[in-house]
Each structure stands twice: as structure tokens, then as C-alpha cells.
Amino acid sequence: MSGPPHPLPGIAIIGGGPAGLMAAETIRAAGLEVDLFEAKGSVGRKFLIAGKGGLNLTHSEPRPAFDARYRERAEQVGAWLDAFDAEALRAWAQGLGIETYVGSSGRVFPQDRKAAPLLRGWVRRLRESGVRFHVQHRWQGWDETGALRFATPEGEYRCHADTLVLALGGGSWPQLGSDAAWSAWLAASGVEIAPLQAANCGFDIGWSEHLAQRFAGAPLKPIVLHWQDRHGQPQCLQGECVISEYGLEGSAIYAISAELRHLIARDGNARLFLDLAPARRLENLIEALAKPRGKRSLGEHIRRQTGLDAAKTALLFEVLGKNPNNDPPQLAQTIKHLPLTLQNPRPMAEAISSAGGVRLEALNTHLMLNLHPGVFCAGEMLDWEAPTGGYLLQACFASGLIAARGAIEWQSRHHSTGNASPPA
């Protein structure tokens, strides 16, 4: 399949996730031709997996609280949301025939909670609009002439693009295509890349074999997490998490994973305290635990008097030992303030998303690389992060729209003057 590079007539997009697909839709709606390249055999694979348990499209939280979920990047991502916010995303889904609803947690889901119908309808509409899809085309960077290089089952394919949108994903779930191979190529060309790290991930604790084997997968709810942030200020969050073989995972842990990751990097570990009985006061627990237990085991006594389930009781024994003293004040205090030491975040390949990527300072407000005019970036490959709950997808969609609008403007002004600038 080798030969001279093929000149593309319009804009090239690399990456078939939500950011790339949104860029394709926006560009095609402007009347420009679009070639979309995807490394895997079909687009939207991570999108489908993310929706396996119920597709969480966005969140109903009002702004600016919504923007604050993006932490240090709240201002920049907030500018993307000015162009495409949660209501715009819900209206867009409705245009595909997908009605949405707000769940009890404020998260927004399709009525059927499934990703596949939405993705099928979206891809069908894109194809009908004229978007050309090229699957099993794994980007390999640029050649010496500035042509895009792709590895395909038939061999190398090369093409020139006047304007390029990169929507290559982060470093999580590499088996679905987002393996971050792009980071080395862009870094070598001078683009500033923040190191990629696991985000929305679980953390190692190092349970006993008994707890790991007997209770892996057990939910802990409701609980309240207590910790000191990087500035030494006390913080708390009510939610739920899950015991895993290695430690803890789940929505409450994911929500504070950036903070926990920072504390581990700084201090070598992170201290977390769980309130296993948030509805019970300490004094009430002490009084209940002081009641005679008769012939019941201490574990059974604790469960009966406190309402803790087997998993929470097992955590209590994990911390206090197999044979703790029948000391009501100590037991009650530990139930309300169970200490855990988090050792490491789980590997990035296991994480729901990744932090780091192309620094936003390396891009202009249209998400075009400052060093490479005509090359735009969008989605999770950019240096921002957010908790689960719809915030991740929302920013991917919005950044795809912003990059597409920038690419449209650039193409209209510069398409006749040369190709998108490749790395030197």
C-alpha cells in the first residue's frame, strides 16, 4: 500500500471517540469534507464500554459548580462549556432520537441507559452526511514530507491533510485504542506534555488474604470519607465505594482520586478515614455496644447493635485485629473514624480515565497547537481531568466542538496555502 501520499480534500480527524466524532459532525455540518481515521475496527469502543453499566452522558449540576469539577482547569474547560454545555448535549442526543433523564444523583442518562443505540444512530447519521471512515488505520506520526503515516492491515498508508484534528484519547484502557503512543511523537516535536497518570482509579491498601478473598466486590454504603487535602485542610465526602482485592475503588474514591494521588506522590501514602455508620452518633454507638452480648460472638454483637453489614464489620476487624477488645468506646470510635493507608494508585491501564496530556498552554483558545499551525487537539489527550458522573464525556464532546470550529476557521483561511504543519 506504499506510494506517494494521497492529498485529502478536506480536514482529517484521527480518533473515533466522542471528541473525534463530535469534531467530524461539526466540520461536516459546515460543508467541509471529513476523513476520520480510527485505529480499531470500529469507532466508539471506549464509549460503549463506559456505557455498559448505564451511559452517564453528563450531569445536571448547575454552573459554575459544574466547571469547578475540572479543578485547576475549571476556567479553560468552562470556556468550552460556554459553547456546548449539559443542556446542549441533552438536546443533541434528542436530535438522535435519544431522550434523557436526570437520575437521583443528578447524573444524566439516556432513557434506556444504553450507549449502543446512541452510537449506532450517530455513526449512521455521520456516514449519511458524507463523513468518510477509515478503520484499522493506526496513526504512526508524520513522515519527512509532513504526510500522515498510518499502519493498516494492507501496509502503510500515507496522506497529506491541510488541517488536522487529533482526538487520540488518554492512556487508560489501551486495549480499546487509547494507548497514548502519540505523546512521544508530540513531545519529540516540542509540544509540552504533562505526564500521563491514572485518574478515576482504585488504590492499593494491602488487605489481609481473608478480607481480599471473602469481601472483594462488596459495596460499602453509605459511608463518609474524611481526609486532609494537600493544604492540610479537613475534607469529607459522603458516598459509596467498593472493596477490591487490592484495596478500594468506586465512585467516592474516584471523586477524590486526584487529591489522593497528589498526597501519595508527596508523602508516600495517603491517610483516609471512613465513617462506616454516618447516620449514628458516636455516643449512641457506645451506648449500643455496651449492652450485654450474652453468648453471641463479638462480630454478631457489633452487627446487631450497630447495623453494620458483614463487609463493614470485616473492615473493622481488619483494622483492630482478629480478636479486638470488647471496648465499646474504642469500637465506636473506629466505626466512626476507621483509618486506612492508601499506598499507590492502580495502574493507568486499569483506570477509567487519565490525567495529564497536551498542556493547554501549548494550545490557543481554538485548541490549535502553538508550535504546529493547523493541528488541533481535543478530548482526553488534553491536560485536564474530572470525576466520573458525566463530567468526562461532557468535556470530550465540548472540546471536540471547539477544536472543530477552530479547524473550520483555519481551513477556510489557509487551506490553499499549504498542509497542516507537522513536527519538525
Q: What pLDDT shows up at residue 4?
A: 74
Pairing of β 353-358 and β 193-199? antiparallel
- Tens-digit pLDDT profile for residues 68-116: 999 999 999 999 999 999 999 999 999 999 999 999 899 999 999 999 9
DSSP 278-317: TTS-HHHHHHHHTS--TTS-HHHHHHHHH---HHHHHHHH
Res 418: pLDDT = 45
Q: Is 113 left (phi over 0), alpha (psi -120 to 50) or beta?
A: left
- In sequence order, the 6+-apart residues with CB closer than 8 A to the CB of 263 are 227, 230, 269, 270, 271
> Strand pairing of 270-275 and 219-228?
antiparallel
Confidence of residue 5 (pLDDT cuts 50, 70, 90): confident
Summarised one tens digit per residue, pLDDT across range 145-201 is: 999 999 999 999 999 998 999 999 999 988 888 899 999 999 999 999 999 999 999
Helix 298-306 crosses helix 310-320 at what angle (to 10 degrees)? 130
How much is the average pLDDT of 406-421? 77
Q: What's the confidence (pLDDT) of residue 322? A: 82
Residue 54 confidence class, pLDDT cut points 50, 70, 90: confident
What is the rounded radius of gyration, in angstroms, for the C-alpha atoms of the chain? Answer: 25
CA distances from 294 to 290, 301, 329, 391 (A): 12, 9, 19, 51
Of 77-86, 218-227, 288-297, the least confident = 288-297
Q: What is the bridge-based pairing of β-strands 234-243 and 219-228?
A: antiparallel
The answer to whether 220 and 240 are in contact (CB under 8 A) is yes
Which DSSP string corresponds to 86-110? HHHHHHHHHHTT--EEE-TTSEEEE
Reported confidence tier of residue 415, pLDDT bands at 50, 70, 90: low
Distances from the Cα of 88 to the Cα of 57, 172, 258, 300, 394, angstroms: 11, 27, 28, 52, 10
The pLDDT, as a whole number, for residue 7 is 86
C-alpha cell, 292: 450485654
Q: Kindly report the number of other CB atoms within 10 A of residue 368's CB atom.
A: 25
Q: 171-183, pLDDT tens digit by residue?
A: 998 888 889 999 9
